Structure 1
Amino acid sequence: MKKEEVPQDNSNLSSNNMKELCYATDENGNYTTALSTGWEPKTIALENSIQDINERIEAAKAGVKNGTLSPIVYFMEVHKMDWMTLAGYVGMWTWRVKRHGKPSVFKKMNDKMLAKYAEAFEISVAELKNYKGE
């Protein structure tokens, strides 16, 4: 695309005075860079992703509140992690981290184990232990 054709649609980037670096061709046909505030297809995809993340956070919050999920699942979603990513942060096998997503297992965890999760989520052990989905 030519430098003057780089899209400048309103997006989440433009609301934060941020711009994205794009490659384009100049008047001589040479590659150069140009700044873009966004383009419609990317904005739609980003908004859909954010909506999906927010729905997963709300579902995890409801799961903690009704006792079907541990607070680990909620904070994992808030921090946009999946099981494998969280396992890497806490230095455990993925299957073990998934087990900790069960309220019955979570209640039996000691503070040393909870401290690993609290550090990954940048919260205190007390916040992690006392989160009730509210």
Structure 2
Amino acid sequence: MKKEDVPQDQGNLSRTDLKELVYATDENGKYTTALSSGWEPKSIALSNSIEEISERIAIAKAQVVNNEISPISYYMEFCRMDIGVLSSYVGMWQWRVKRHFKPKVFAGLSDKILKKYSDAFNITVEELKNFKVN
């Protein structure tokens, strides 16, 4: 895209002083950088993904309250992680992390293991053990 054609739509970035750096071609056809305040399709996609993440967090919260899953699953969603990312942070196999989603298994975890999770979520072990509904 040419530098003069870089989108300046009213999007998520336009509500702030932030601009996104994008590549474009100048009048000589050489690649250069330009600032964009937003692009409508990208803003729509970003809004949709944020809504989906919010829904997944709400579902996980309700499941923890109903004792269907452990707080580990909620905090994983809240911190925008997936099984692969979380397992790498805590240094455990994915199957083991999934097992810790079970409330009965979670209840028997040692403080040493819970500390790994709490560090990954940037919370205390007590916050992880005593999930509070806000």
TM-score w.r.t. length of structure 1: 0.95
CA shift for structure 1 position 125: 0.2
Cα distance per residue 1:10-67 (max 9 Å; x no partner): 2222223221111111122222110111101111111111001000000000000111
| Structure 1 stretch displaced more, 15-24 or 70-79 | 15-24
Percent identity of the aligned residues? 63
C-alpha separation between the residues in 2 aligned to 1:132 and 1:103? 15
- Runs of at least 4 residues of structure 1 off by over 6 A? none
Cα distance per residue 1:82-133 (max 9 Å; x no partner): 0111000000000000000111110111111100000000000000000044
- Corresponding position of 2:100: 100
Which amino acid counterpart does residue 21 of structure 2 have in structure 1? L
Q: State whether residues 71 and 132 of structure 1, in contact with CA within 8 Å, keep that contact through their aligned partners in structure 2.
A: no
Count of residues paired in the alignment: 134
- Corresponding position of 1:18: 18
Which amino acid counterpart does residue 117 of structure 1 have in structure 2? Y
- Corresponding position of 1:64: 64
Structure 2, unaligned runs of 5 or more: none
TM-score w.r.t. length of structure 2: 0.95
| Structure 1 stretch displaced more, 14-23 or 106-115 | 14-23
Superposition RMSD on alpha carbons, in Å? 1.1
- Corresponding position of 1:120: 120
- Corresponding position of 2:54: 54
- Corresponding position of 1:5: 5
Q: State whether residues 11 and 43 of structure 1, in contact with CA within 8 Å, keep that contact through their aligned partners in structure 2.
A: yes
Q: State whether residues 87 and 97 of structure 1, in contact with CA within 8 Å, keep that contact through their aligned partners in structure 2.
A: yes
Structure 1, unaligned runs of 5 or more: none
| Structure 1 stretch displaced more, 26-35 or 122-131 | 26-35
- Corresponding position of 1:91: 91
| Structure 1 stretch displaced more, 89-98 or 9-18 | 9-18
